Amino acid sequence: MRSSYFPVSLGAFRLGPVPTLFDAHPNPARRPDRVVREGIVHLPAFLTMEQQEQVVSTAREYARRTASLPWRMRQRRVKSGTMSAHLMSLGEHWDYERHRYIRGEGSQAVPAIPETFVGIAHAVLRMAGELDESLAPWVAGFRVEAALVNYYPPGSGMGLHQDGYEDSGAPVVSLSIGDSAVFRAGGTIDRNKPWDDIYLESGDALVFGGPARDIFHGIVRLDDNTAPMGCGLRQGRINVTFRQVR
Ligand SMILES: O=C(O)CCC(=O)C(=O)O
Ligand SMILES: [Fe+2]
């Protein structure tokens, strides 16, 4: 009988589940919620795998639906060249030519931000506000007016920049799904060091606001083949960034 190999008394000395070939982290040391620096809060694994998959499939559906519109998912030309990430706007769209946020053009409206996304954004900021006093004043009145969906193909990134188009000083709330990435958070004056490099994995949330609202930041590395099974993306990374515009 099998039980003869596993005397009952052994149970008292068990140290935990036996790692198997299939455990990515045999001894998962949970990455703790962290105030990286005043105004910057990293919430690892904020989204469940089901939520990640839902965000990705919703983003896909919107990308299909808006494929012929100015705010469709596409690479944008900026001063320094063409961005390697693909961007799609929901809610409001930053019009690079007219240099202002628009809600549509003619009879075409920028699609509304899905309610599920809005709910997630509020939940993220609420949690971040509990950890960081500089974010707390923004929690109650936060209006999720613009959502930028960025798709990063393998090997892409985003240069250091400031999110400076919004009149509001409300925090920026962001979600990461798919391949892991290094988010570089610099200072508010220029792109120079010191930086905090934050490792964002699939399901993580990040908030920057308060004294860190105007930091230079960007994506300096994407790690191929790190997207977890079930997140909805086989390769590359999706970032959704929520902003209050005015
Ligand atoms: O991909 C990210 O985590 C950052 C995206 C970003 O900085 C932006 O969309 O302005
Ligand atoms: Fe940004």
Rounded distance between C-alpha atoms, residue 25 and residue 10, angstroms: 24
d(CA 118, CA 55): 11
pLDDT of residue 30: 82
For residue range 57-74, what is the model confidence (pLDDT) as tens digits? 999 999 999 999 988 998
> What pLDDT band is residue 11 in, cutting at 50, 70 and 90?
very low
Using most ligand atoms within 8 A of CB, pick from 174, 204, 237 the residue to mutate for ligand 1.
Answer: 174
* CA 232 – ligand 1 centroid, Å: 19
Strand partners, 105: 108
The mean pLDDT value for 17-42 works out to 76
Which structure tokens are listed for 192?
């120079």
State which H helix or E strand residue 55 sits in.
Answer: helix 49-65
Determine the residue type at 65. R
Is the model's pLDDT at 37 over the cut of 90? yes
Q: Domains of the chain (ranges plus CATH)?
A: 32-243 (2.60.120.590)
Q: What is the pLDDT of residues 197-221, one digit of tens each?
A: 999 999 999 999 999 999 999 999 9
Checking if the pLDDT of 9 tops 50, the result is no
Say if residue 23 carries a ligand binding annotation.
no
Instruction: Please list every protein residue whose CB sits less than 6 Å from any atom of ligand 1.
Output: 148, 150, 158, 163, 174, 183, 217, 219, 239, 241
> What gap in Å lies between CA 163 and CA 212, rounded to an integer?
11
Indicate which residue's Cα is closest to atom 1 of ligand 1.
239
| Minimum CA distance residue for ligand 1 atom 3 | 239
Q: Which atom of ligand 1 is nearest to the CA of 217?
A: 7
Looking up tokens 């399901």 gives: 203
Among protein residues, the one with the nearest Cα to ligand 1's atom 7 is 218
CA distance 43 to 35: 9
Does residue 212 contact residue 39 with C-beta atoms inside 8 Å? yes
Radius of gyration of the chain (CA): 20
Q: Whose CA is nearest to atom 6 of ligand 1?
A: 218
Query: What tens digit of pLDDT does each residue of 71-121 get?
Result: 899 898 888 888 899 999 999 999 988 999 999 999 999 999 999 999 999
For a substitution probing ligand 1, which of 162, 207, 217 has the most ligand atoms within 8 Å of its CB?
217
pLDDT of residue 18: 59
Q: Decide: helix, strand or coil at residue 139.
A: helix
Q: At what angle do helices 115-131 and 49-65 cross, to 10 degrees?
A: 130
With bands split at pLDDT 50, 70 and 90, how would you rate the model's confidence at 2?
very low
Protein residue with least CA distance to atom 2, ligand 1 = 239
| Helices H / strands E in the chain, number of each | 3, 16
Is 95 among the annotated ligand-binding positions?
Answer: no
123 alpha carbon to ligand 1 midpoint, in Å?
19
Distance (Å) from CA 107 to ligand 2 centroid = 29
